[in-house]
A and B are shown apart, each in its own frame.
Chain A
Amino acid sequence: MTRLVVGPFNRVEGDLEVQLDIADGRVSSARVNAPMYRGFEPMLAGRDPHDALVIVPRICGICSVSQSVAAARALADAAGVDAPPNGAHVTNLMLACENLADHLSHFYLFFMPDFARPVYAGRPWHGEAQRRFAALAGEHARAALGARQRWFEIMGTLGGKWPHTQSVQPGGSARAVEASERLRLLAKVREFRAFLEATTFGAPLEDVAALDGEAALARWQASDPLRGDLRFFLALADELQLQSLGRGPGLALSYGAYRQPDGSFELPGGVWDAASNAVQPVDFEAIREDATHAWLAGDAPLHPRDGHTEPWADRPGAYTWNKAPRLGGRVVETGAIARQLTSGQPLIRDAVLATGTNVRNRVLARLLEVARVLPMMERWLASLAPREPFFRSGRMPDEARGVGLTEAARGALGHWLHVQRGRIANYQIVAPTSWNFSPRDATGTPGALEAALEGAPVREGEDTPVAVQHIVRSFDPCMVCTVH
């Protein structure tokens, strides 16, 4: 058996190291290390609760709006305020803008460039992969970067800037939208739709969103095999058997995405279990964080409501700055694939029942989500009522507790807030990649990525195995959120 320490991983957000034990050309065991500590939770203690709206987005430059939304919801929950419908729609528009941009960045900048690597020279698709996706050079990657730049102008209007807006408020949005601005925003959404339909999908978004199973997907792909980057990816994934890489735990978690003014979700959440192909409601009381293998103090696993974060750099047996979140003691996977499973998208359900959550299906789920969500944004824009309120005032009591839940691009994000004597007494954050890239827990059970890496092939002489890179990046990890 040999041991390999792999890192730094780039094209993930933040720093990441993976320690691999290798036997007979395959990974036999993996340990995931988030090698940086930042300490946002202690930073927040003792401050005015509203300061969270400035500090929390700065946990992450790529999930910034998602962090803002979680904080605003925790504050709203504690203060008992509710945003007016316009505020809910604008919040969802900003969340969706960020989430779709993140999916685009993941596909074109973070994930696909690996297929242009020399290791794949000679594969039938390699030349085309280089032409489309080579880092800093690929034609489609460059076009996607341009489309992303235009797309984020939605955030310029609604949020003042991206990342790190403070327009997301517990009582809605600080930025009211005029009727003429709504038209301009709609034009921006349609411009991005045109890019996606021409370059990413080679098809109308509605056609992609309506695919209802692997058979329909195969017919759609065969109809025009090289048209659009999704079809190209599917062909490449098939040739490389990417569905056999990086199998997840079979339990998928979503808190529900894009909450509507009536309290329903555009993408309903829950816990999807592969064993039953059924969704159960999330038991929020069953969430625990276990610090056994983290360089953090703490003995028994704690609910985030009662959690604390204190560095212990010499903790015996520890190998990461990330705690191990568990749901009822079990490892879950979160992200776009979880949202598509819990909201019952038939193609993703079919794909996952056939081969599990894996490298191919995670990427497919993300692109399918793009096709589903953009038309929702068009509807939310149409639902805005200019000249009706976008914000409602509230008052934070001196003693309060609040929970803020949302879906970031990378999955379920929760903030737990405790206010005492008008100040933040405790603030705990459980980020999506905390779930996906968790270390072992007290029972020794590995986290989702750690388990997904077991069995990954390692070629002769590889020091940074390409299969490991595909698996790691298929989760679209955000390490800066993880090491908040």
Chain B
Amino acid sequence: MNVLWLQSGGCGGCSMSLLCADTADFPAMLKAGGIELLWHPSLSLASGRELITLLEDCRDGRQRLDVLCVEGALLRGPNGSGRFHLLAGTGVPMIDWVRDLAAVATHVVAVGSCAAWGGISATGPNVTEACGLQYDGDRIGGLLGAGFAARGGLPVINVAGCPTHPGWVVDTLMALSARLLQADDLDPLHRPRFYADQLVHHGCTRNEYYEFKASAEKPSDLGCMMEHLGCKGTQAHADCNTRLWNGEGSCTRGGYACISCTEPGFQDPGHPYHQTPKLAGIPIGLPTDMPKAWFVALASLSKSATPKRVKSNATADHVVVAPAVKKTRLK
């Protein structure tokens, strides 16, 4: 299965993240998974005319194209002209190249939240008219339109994240190569379920603080970051705390809030990222699937029952009260 990887309105960080995939030999991993990189901007030799010829061959059917990966938002501006990104050496808007190549590819993969929804590239005034391949924020449509299906039958596969986890990309490509990714393996936002059917909260090392509503008050505190510091880990779909990043990392383990970067519209939350919006002292964004009354009741109960250890450690940057050592065997 061959893969062509193009970049447009983004930072290139999903490619950089991809190169952190958990393997001792990246090219060998791809080969073993049946994946051949037709071209990738950071990894391939071909440059200039060699690449343009390859793109033309794909577009005109002289070269089979199995998977088109697009990283970065699609820049439709100014005024729909696409001139905010003309592919170098061609004078042709990148959005035109992407439309043409998506039409001939068996599968189309949006790598990262920019390519999926518009992402950070679409924040604020969105002067560039940035959008995703098949979504514009949380509205289906985007560059290719709501009705788009690639030749293989699937809509654009949204491997959303900012950046994406390298494992999400590699697993998606390996599943496509093995013909193991079907329509019902995608969630309602067309993200692969293998990572999107999890919440960032799952496996968070701050879960004991969460249970007792023992909250961090400032960066570097150990407590739960949901109440004050803007953490959306109980709402955001991703397996970041069970499939870790760069060895033993995740946002919450790195000391900062989940900003729900896999979700459409995360770039414009309507509040400062580092502060939890509240109504009458209750966070507006409640844990997914949790009725508000239950959350309020549980929160007040657990706050009143917080052990001194958990309360003390929540506002420290290291454990100041260790768990008690029981003098009898654990029951």
Contact = CB atoms under 8 A, between A and B. Distances in A.
B45 A135 contact: yes
B304 interface: no
Interface residues of B, number: 81
26 contacts: A37-B84, A42-B127, A44-B124, A47-B272, A50-B273, A50-B274, A51-B272, A54-B273, A55-B267, A58-B11, A58-B13, A61-B15, A61-B16, A61-B17, A61-B163, A62-B16, A64-B11, A134-B45, A149-B23, A159-B249, A160-B255, A164-B13, A174-B254, A313-B84, A469-B47, A480-B11
Given A48-B272, A148-B20, 6 more contacts: A47-B272, A61-B17, A135-B43, A145-B25, A161-B251, A163-B11
A36 B255 contact: no
A176 B272 contact: no
A160 B85 contact: no
Contact of A155 (B246, B257, B318): B246
Contact of B254 (A17, A37, A62, A165): A165
Contact of A14 (B12, B52, B84): B12
Interface string A52-79: 0111001111101000000000000000
Contacts of B52: 8
Interface string A336-360: 0000000000000000000000000
Contacts of B24: 146, 149
A159 B49 CA distance: 39
A463 B75 CA distance: 28
Contact of B46 (A10, A17, A59): A10
Of A48, A164, A386, A389, which is in contact with the most chain B CB atoms at under 10 Å from its CB?
A164
Given A145-B26, A463-B49, A43 B87 contact: no
A149 B27 CA distance: 13
Interface string B192-234: 0000000000000000000000000011100000000000000
B47 A11 contact: yes
A116 B45 contact: yes
Nearest to A136: B27
Contact of B255 (A6, A51, A173): A173
A51 B275 CA distance: 10
A125 interface: no
Contacts of B41: 10-11
B46 A389 contact: no
In order of increasing CB-CB distance, the 9 nearest A-B pairs are A160-B254, A61-B13, A7-B88, A156-B246, A464-B48, A156-B249, A174-B255, A7-B89, A153-B247
A208 B207 CA distance: 48
A239 to B, nearest CB: 21
A25 interface: no
Given A8-B47, A157-B247, A391-B220, A51 B273 contact: yes
Contacts of A390: 220, 317
A393 B228 CA distance: 15
Given A142-B26, A157-B249, A166-B256, A50 B163 contact: no
Of A9, A11, A161, A176, which is in contact with the most chain B CB atoms at under 10 Å from its CB?
A161
A160 B44 contact: no
Interface string B7-22: 1111111111101111
Contacts of B87: 7-8, 15, 35
A113 B42 CA distance: 11
A110 interface: yes
A33 B90 CA distance: 12
Contacts of B131: none
A116 B8 CA distance: 28
Contacts, number: 264
Contacts of B43: 11, 109, 135-136
Nearest to B8: A36
B235 interface: no
A105 B17 CA distance: 13
Contact of A387 (B14, B244, B318): B318
A396 to B, nearest CB: 11
Contacts of A148: 19-20
B37 interface: yes
Nearest to A8: B88
B321 interface: no
Interface of B: 7-17, 19-28, 37, 39, 41-52, 75, 78, 81, 83-90, 94, 120-121, 123-125, 127-128, 162-163, 218-220, 244-257, 259, 267, 272-275, 317-318
Contacts of B48: 6-9, 463-464
A23 interface: no
Interface in A371-391: 386-387, 389-391
A206 to B, nearest CB: 27
Contacts of B256: 160, 165-167, 174
B88 A58 contact: no
A169 interface: yes
A37 B163 contact: no
A259 B48 CA distance: 40
B45 A117 contact: yes
B124 A45 contact: yes
A463 B227 CA distance: 59
A35 to B, nearest CB: 5
Contacts of A14: 7, 12
A328 interface: no
Nearest to A481: B11
A19 B301 CA distance: 68
Contacts of A232: none
Contact of B124 (A10, A43, A110, A386): A43
A422 to B, nearest CB: 10
Nearest to A181: B248
B42 A60 contact: no
A47 B13 CA distance: 23
A39 interface: yes
A393 B220 CA distance: 10
B255 A464 contact: no
B125 A42 contact: yes
Contacts of B317: 176, 389-391
B11 A61 contact: yes
Interface in A428-484: 463-464, 469, 480
A84 B97 CA distance: 50
B17 A175 contact: no
Contact of A175 (B84, B220, B257): B220
Contact of B26 (A61, A146, A153, A166): A146
Contact of A149 (B22, B90, B275): B22
A183 interface: no
Given A39-B127, A59-B11, A146-B26, A169 B253 contact: no
Nearest to B48: A464
Contacts of B246: 152-153, 155-157, 161-162
